[in-house]
Chains A and B, each alone.
Chain A
Amino acid sequence: MITLEQKNFEEIEKMTKGYNRLLVLGCETCAAMSFAGGQRQVAELASAIRVARKTSGEQGEVLEEAIARQCEPEFVDLIKDDVAGCDAVLSLACGAGVQLLAERFPDKVILPGCNTLFLGVTEELGVWSERCAGCGNCILDKTAGLCPIARCAKQLLNGPCGGSMNGKCEISKDVDCVWQLIIDRLDRLNRLEMLEEIFPVKDWSPAGHGGPRKMIREDLKL
């Protein structure tokens, strides 16, 4: 999933100031799973904005809505009447959702209510962590199913640097050294010899360094 967190309230308050009719728009997939932009967070945030506006004497109405995915035009188009009736939309989706809204509603102010963090997993309730950097050329077959590009602070491809201590990364005692995890797992699988070979220089062009990325599937196009 795409992990995201709501921006702090002061930033949201400042950003939305002056837009009389404000639509707070949730996204029921990743944002909901991140507890940042599902229907419930939309209701909570909308009511907090109402309270703040009342306190500061600001006029206006705060509307609420949520759609299944803000990254799909067919869902976005479902709310075009709601959007037409407001002055600005505060999107609680990831950056992709925010931008699709901006594309579909060219005359409307679209504001981001969340920070998009990473492609990750839920470790436990309330804890998410990064797993994938979307580098466009998966190497997990060579690294025991654990990604050094997403999870090594230096994106090293040939084993841990000299800062790996007691299974932790040099940047923080709270960060696992992914190379320690890779080595432990390869040891368990009896495949440690895989690491003897020098991993070649990576082509970063599919990772976004070749410019903005696009995928076209001719077989699926109408």
Chain B
Amino acid sequence: MKSGSNLERLLESGQFAVTAEAGPPKGSSPKVVQRKGELLKLCCDALNVTDNQTAIVRMSSLSGCVLLKEMGMEPVLQMVVRDRNRLALQSDILGAAALGIRNVLCLSGDHQKFGNHPTAKGVYDIDSIQFIQMVKTMRDEHKFLNGEEISGDVPFFIGAAANPFADPFEFRVTRLAKKANAGADFIQTQGIFDMPKFIEWMKMVRDRGLDEKTHILAGLIPIKSVGMARYMRNNVSGLSVPKEIVDRMADAKEPKEEGVKICLETIEQLKEVDGIHGIHIMAVAWEDIVSRIVEEAGLMPRPVV
């Protein structure tokens, strides 16, 4: 075992994993995180805590992870290279290890221009792939980026993101290969709405044997309203929301029900795709729907490993 995390044990034993996202609040109250933890506790194997997502300042990801851990949940520490240089990243990795965090997701991060401090100076000292490699070296060789020895273990199950819907399409598999070669143990993908494109991407992934090298968790974003569908279609870079999905949401008498239906259909289709090792549900501001989706997808109860 690299980290001994629940997520690692589950994926290594070949079982289908379910993870979800819990964004920390724009404030200091632990209750927000704890409430999300309560909602998601029984239906997920691990819970991602986002790191200033969309470049909006929130409670730190590490604090959110600790709050969840105190409740007996397993967190996935998301970390972006936008806000920290190599010193700060390594120092936070050590701190997270000391606090018993065992999963990390290494990300570039949305550009600061999108957030609530658009005039900030972005860091981008190293990129997400170099970050993955750095954590792997810390874990496997007990070495910092500069080659110096680390005292103590750094047991992390290392994750990365993949976006099959961004351009250039052919390079997306190469980028995944680089992440796997850098040391990504698991991958959480961008939210999937364009199934034909995802299936095509997964075929290229399998052709390169990447599904054997890393565990791929397919991303899902439950849609609450037609407004949300339209917003994601038109405004979110790197998301591909087909017109058909927007139309379904627009025509629905009960949009929320339709959103759940779309999500469940997607999960059913994903179960038929070879090389998928789990799902990752990003129900932003709709965390209370996750347990129903997991239940109705036939993925309850979550296995104990």
List residues of A whose CB falls within 8 A of some B CB.
Answer: 153-167, 170-171, 177, 179-180, 183-184, 192, 195-196, 198-202, 204
A163–B178 touching, CB < 8 Å: no
A198–B171 touching, CB < 8 Å: no
- Which A residues are CB-close (under 8 A) to B163? 162
A165–B124 touching, CB < 8 Å: no
Among B22-30, B57-65, B108-116, which stretch is in contact with chain A?
B108-116
B171–A177 touching, CB < 8 Å: no
**Interface SS of chain A:** loop
- Which B residues are CB-close (under 8 A) to A179? 171
In-complex Cβ contact of B127 among A154, A170, A177, A204 (8 A): A154
- A41–B27 Cα distance when bound, in Å, is 51
Given A154-B111, A162-B166, A163-B237, are A204 and B182 neighbors across the interface (CB < 8 Å)?
no
The answer to whether B19 has its CB under 8 Å from any CB of chain A is: no
B130–A161 touching, CB < 8 Å: no
A198–B133 touching, CB < 8 Å: yes
Binary CB contact string for chain B from 145 to 165 against chain A (1 if under 8 A, 0 otherwise): 100000000000000011100
Given A155-B124, A201-B86, are A195 and B129 neighbors across the interface (CB < 8 Å)?
no
- A213–B163 Cα distance when bound, in Å, is 39
- A192–B161 Cα distance when bound, in Å, is 22
- Which A residues are CB-close (under 8 A) to B130? 157-158, 198-201
The answer to whether B196 has its CB under 8 Å from any CB of chain A is: no
B126–A198 touching, CB < 8 Å: no
Q: Which residues of B (226-243) have their CB < 8 Å from a CB of A? A: 237-238
- 20 A-B residue pairs with CB within 8 Å: A153-B111, A154-B109, A156-B128, A158-B129, A158-B175, A158-B178, A159-B175, A160-B171, A161-B166, A162-B163, A162-B238, A165-B237, A170-B110, A171-B111, A180-B168, A183-B171, A196-B174, A198-B130, A198-B178, A201-B86
The answer to whether B291 has its CB under 8 Å from any CB of chain A is: no
Name A170's closest neighbour in chain B (CB-CB): B237
Given A158-B130, A158-B175, A198-B129, are A163 and B181 neighbors across the interface (CB < 8 Å)?
no
Name B238's closest neighbour in chain A (CB-CB): A162
- A99–B134 Cα distance when bound, in Å, is 41
The answer to whether B257 has its CB under 8 Å from any CB of chain A is: no
- A177–B237 Cα distance when bound, in Å, is 12
- A199–B113 Cα distance when bound, in Å, is 26
- Which B residues are CB-close (under 8 A) to A192? 174
Name A167's closest neighbour in chain B (CB-CB): B167
Name B177's closest neighbour in chain A (CB-CB): A196
- A158–B171 Cα distance when bound, in Å, is 11
Given A196-B174, A196-B177, are A165 and B113 neighbors across the interface (CB < 8 Å)?
no
B127–A156 touching, CB < 8 Å: yes
B166–A163 touching, CB < 8 Å: yes
A-B contacts besides A160-B166, A179-B171, A195-B174, 14 pairs, CB < 8 Å = A156-B108, A158-B127, A158-B130, A158-B178, A160-B171, A160-B175, A164-B238, A165-B166, A170-B114, A170-B238, A171-B114, A196-B177, A198-B133, A199-B129
Closest 10 pairs between A and B when the two form their complex, measured CB to CB: A162-B163, A170-B237, A158-B129, A162-B238, A163-B237, A162-B166, A155-B124, A156-B127, A161-B108, A163-B238
